[in-house]
Chains A and B, each alone.
Chain A
Amino acid sequence: MPATRSDIIHQLQKDILLWQGFTPPAATAVPVGLGPVEAAFPRGVFPAAAVHELLSETAEEAAVTSGFVAGLLSPLMRRGGACIWISATRRLFPPALKAFGVEPERVIFIDLNREKEVLWAMEEALQCEGLAAVVAEVKEISFTASRRLQLAVEQSRVTGLVLRHQPRDLNANACMARWRIRPVASEPEPGMPGVGFPRWQVELLKVRNGKPGSWLLEWSAGRFCPVLEKRVAQPQAPARKTG
């Protein structure tokens, strides 16, 4: 009996996912290489055809969030796709994208004056099937606006990423997942001087039908690498001698 019961529960969970609009991932789904993080999503696959929300408070957090997003864009754009980056206050330095495996010339930046235009442009861009991803930097997003974006994404299956810097209120919205990326002290190879690979604390605060969690990731060798055991930080000299 217990076997059948678990079967029933399993089947019910699958059905619920279907009713909620989670179609099984297409055969062409791109693995984004997030490793253990992907297990948090329904069916264990990063939902590419969805809108994700990434929060940041400080300028440093905004920078690591941009880095994380660039890391996500690189597998999404691997098949020659283009990306649109919409912002009203852009600080992103295009040549830096190269380090995350993104060809900066394949990114089209749309620099606007008002936030309202950003959301309009994002919705318009998400309806375009010829794109790999759309990134928008926007402070506030209402439930209605996020629902519109989600509907556009379900049609076109383009990945939408909303970077929210210093949001005033964290209202409920229709985004698939809410992320928060924080910088973590890097650790170079033992005995090596200088700054190590970018290392982030990736938090999944909310995820629809998934399990939120927190992971330590590092960007090295052109992919996300989970940092498994936390090594004890060695007390180090403040700076290396150069020259």
Chain B
Amino acid sequence: MAQRFVTIWLYHLVTDWLTIRRPDLRQQPFVLAAPDHGRMVITAASTAAQAQGIYAGMVLADARAILPALQVFNDRPGLAEELLQALAKWCIRYTPFAAIDPPDGLILDASGCAHLWGGEAPYLEAIITRLQAFGYQARAAMAGTIGTAWAVSRFGSAHFMIDSGKEQEALLYLPPAALRLEQETVERLQKLGLVNVSHFINMPRTALRRRFGQELLQRLDQALGREEESIQPLEPVQPFQERLPCLEPILTATGIEIALQRLLEALCNRLRREGKGLRTAVLKAFRVDGRVVQVSIGTNGASHNADHLFKLFAHKIPTIEPALGIELFVLEAPKTDALSPQQETLWTGGCGLESPRLSELVDRLANKLGAHCIHRYLPQEHYWPERSARPAASLDEKPATAWRSDVLRPVRLLPEPERITVAAPIPDYPPMLFRYQGQVHRVRRADGPERIEREWWLEAGPHRDYYVVEDEAGRRYWIFRSGHYDGSRPHWFLHGFFA
């Protein structure tokens, strides 16, 4: 497929933007100015101001001398770039590859996109019409190379559609500046009387390189398609992405559901062919008013089951605000995992952790209640009770070590050990009685002590001597003494309840 590029020149970008926000300025001469070396220099001039001979780069005082009624606004550095970014984002509805071309242009890679609008001419027409409807004055051109499209959009006069292979003809009668050359080179070319590209395009390359440097040749090659030129898309194109442009703007939840179902089917088919499953998915809805609303879901395990993914999205569809309508849906899978085909056979059966129905259930719960609610624990090689289990990262993570079964652990563990007062014979006998929450428990049976040292490489503090004790009513507790008997009375704590 031949590459096709569209370049858009917004020659009054900043002033148009200001006019859109303040329609009263439409017919008025006004400029934007920024301080430069201690004086105010005009950075952008409106059409009315330009008609009076005021141009960007002029010192503001000179402009005021020409036109005392000139209105001046402060320019903000980076403003033009921000506007371009927003416009390029808006252009994603025409192609996934949209890039900005500071200071006042956009570049779109339109390869294989135009047929959706019924051909290249309607495609270009649609872009320009929509931009002009917003209030931006724009010129756009389409060509097989970025260089030619750029040249034609800035300097072309009649034809803005250049077929691939006809770049040279299109360039012949354009000035050298159309080749995106540095000012110095352009001036030198003009001094030598080379006012058209046709004057030097057939000169020997060695002569051109000697006189004007490599840059001229490179720009010429880029424009003619002899050298590859790439653009940096505004948003990296996801490898797993499906687009659904809509003929009429979508306004209803049913419409969104149908669009989502179609996108999911297409995406899941593709994932299935490549043996992958998605872990996260983002649905972006491009609205008519130029905004993008998006919802995202996540799964616990790679999945390419369209029905299941649709259910996960179903909760979030009501949060999509269609406003005046949605004209393009994009479904992306930013994170995918390999999905082995064996799992597919288990789709209906199985009842363990691998069961797909369980992972679907967990996905449903996670999407409704938040993924932070869901915990699963794996053993960790630590004696310290609070650290003996760690949360698992996913449903299918296997324990690296075995659970300890040689020591008894309480069924209920308090998150913070609670202070108790005890009567215990020294040095390391279990207590005879202890008081917990105002109630005295007489110890009838006891096991211990089990000394657990604090892991000094993780934290400092005294060790714990744990006892399993049973009181006269048969209630079983896990209590410990913190540290040694060294002069001071050691503290005793209750840490858990046994079954």
Contact = CB atoms under 8 A, between A and B. Distances in A.
A10 interface: no
A219 B499 contact: yes
B403 A66 contact: no
A82 B499 contact: no
B353 A106 contact: yes
A238 B412 contact: no
A190 interface: no
Contact of B445 (A108, A125, A236): A236
Interface residues of A, number: 63
Contacts of A198: 476, 498-499
A125 B411 contact: no
B11 interface: no
B365 A66 contact: no
B462 to A, nearest CB: 19
A196 B445 contact: yes
A63 interface: yes
B389 interface: yes
A121 B356 CA distance: 18
A130 to B, nearest CB: 4
Given A105-B399, A198-B476, A238-B444, A66 B373 contact: no
Contact of B357 (A96, A107, A128, A194): A128
A34 interface: no
Interface in B83-105: none
B443 A124 contact: no
Contact of A96 (B360, B410, B414, B432): B410
A98 B409 CA distance: 9
Contacts of B412: 59, 62-63, 66, 91-93
Contacts of A240: 446
Nearest to B356: A130
A112 B373 CA distance: 6
Interface stretch (B33-41, B249-257, B375-383): B375-383
Contacts of B415: 91
Contact of A92 (B399, B411, B472): B411
Nearest to A132: B351
B449 interface: yes
A194 B446 CA distance: 5
Interface stretch (A16-24, A40-48, A180-188, A203-211): A180-188
Given A95-B409, A121-B365, 14 more contacts: A60-B497, A64-B411, A66-B499, A70-B411, A70-B499, A93-B411, A96-B411, A105-B377, A110-B373, A128-B357, A131-B351, A131-B361, A185-B444, A195-B446
18 contacts: A60-B475, A60-B477, A63-B496, A68-B499, A70-B499, A91-B412, A93-B413, A96-B413, A104-B389, A109-B374, A110-B365, A110-B375, A112-B369, A117-B369, A130-B352, A195-B470, A196-B445, A238-B432
Interface of B: 350-353, 355-358, 360-362, 364-365, 369, 373-379, 385, 388-389, 392, 395, 398-399, 403-405, 408-415, 427-430, 432, 442-449, 468-470, 472-477, 496-499
